[in-house]
Amino acid sequence: MFSATYPERVSGLVLYGTMAKGSRAPDYPWALTEEQFNKWLQNLLRAWGRPVPQAYFARSYAEDNEIWAWFSKLLRLGSSPGEVQGVLVLMRDIDVRNILPVISVPTLILHRVDDRVLRIGGGRYLAEHIPGARYVEMPGQDHWWWLGDSHLVIEEIRNFVTNRNPPIRVERTLYTILSLAVSPGAGSSNDRLQPPEELIQSEISRFNGMHLMSSQDFYVAAFDGPSRAIQCGLALRQVTTQGRIPFRMALHTGECIVSGNELGGSAVEIAKAMASAANPGGVTVSRTVKDLVVGAGFSFEDRGAHRLSETYGTWELYKVR
């Protein structure tokens, strides 16, 4: 996510034995189901800190008592069972598939063919969806890269980081777009309340947002992270609610086209279309935003699928609680 948001600050991305989604979906069959993941997690926690072989991490070393004594000490020094449960639940729920096509930095993906912790399909999925990525499958069944033929992993990384690619010209990057549509008021013109534009822009700036456009009844801003965008949306909801200003608000994270100091592209248009479909008085987000803020402390209410337009089709929408 960092490389998609700040490509000018990343010289390269190396991914080893990893994945884009923590649990199985109909279009992502390489991960455990949520039920299987929870069962694995409970088994892991029951044996936490004891020298019980976890052979799927290092199948070639299943009978090596020294390895498992070292691993049990690592677990005891590294975390309590309760703390690691919180971390692994986040891993189960995370989903970054929608931002893979936005990554524009040089990327190396390494995966061992018989890895049982994170299966080879996850590595192939990353390679298919990150533009221009170099993908290397290596023999082996140990998930830990420093066991087995570790020299192959080291050599691939060495070649990657020493191959000085010319700086890339960034034209696409990842932003979270906030779209605020003020609904026409009823009654006389004196009854129609407008949010003070200075206050709107002040809230956007307070959360490090970039004001893109505004009109009498429409405001659009961009943020470099979905959490800040949601926080700004909640602050704007308070401003508009206290002022009795009817509004619809929506957020979406996606690819933006950078042209000088201006942003455009599908993410901006989708956020504007979502605002039109949003319920009045709340902060509506796309499934992409919801998936990217796992663990950030937000809670969501499922609003179901909504057809935005002929161009952008149907999207799952959620309301921030």
Compute the C-alpha angle 144/150/154, nearest 5°: 110
Instruction: Enumerate residues 6+ apart whose C-beta is below 8 A from 272.
Output: 179, 181, 218, 220, 250
Q: 58-105, pLDDT tens digit by residue?
A: 999 989 999 999 999 999 999 999 999 999 999 999 999 999 999 989
pLDDT computed for residue 186 by the predictor? 38
Q: 173-209, pLDDT tens digit by residue?
A: 899 999 998 865 433 344 445 566 788 889 999 999 9
* Other C-beta atoms lying within 10 Å of the C-beta of residue 41: 18
Answer left, alpha or beta for residue 252, where phi above 0 means left and psi between -120 and 50 means alpha.
beta
The packing angle between helices 34-46 and 81-93, to 10°, is 160
Residue type at position 170 = V
Q: 209-230, pLDDT tens digit by residue?
A: 998 888 777 889 999 999 999 9
Written in H, E and C, the secondary structure of 11-32 is: CCEEEECCCCECCCECCECCCC
Mean pLDDT throughout 114-126?
95
Enter the pTM of the model.
Answer: 0.83
Distance separating alpha carbons of residues 11 and 62, to the nearest angstrom:
38
Mean pLDDT of all residues in the chain? 88
Superfamily holding 2-162: Alpha/Beta hydrolase fold, catalytic domain (3.40.50.1820)
Instruction: Please determine, looking at this structure, whether the domain spanning 172-320 carries the CATH number 3.40.1530.20.
Output: no
pLDDT computed for residue 167 by the predictor? 56
> Residue 166 — very low, low, confident or very high, per pLDDT cuts 50/70/90?
low
Please state the domain extents for the chain: 2-162, 172-320
> Residue 128 — very low, low, confident or very high, per pLDDT cuts 50/70/90?
very high
Q: 266-311, pLDDT tens digit by residue?
A: 899 999 999 988 888 889 999 999 999 998 899 999 999 999 888 8
Distance separating alpha carbons of residues 261 and 277, to the nearest angstrom:
29
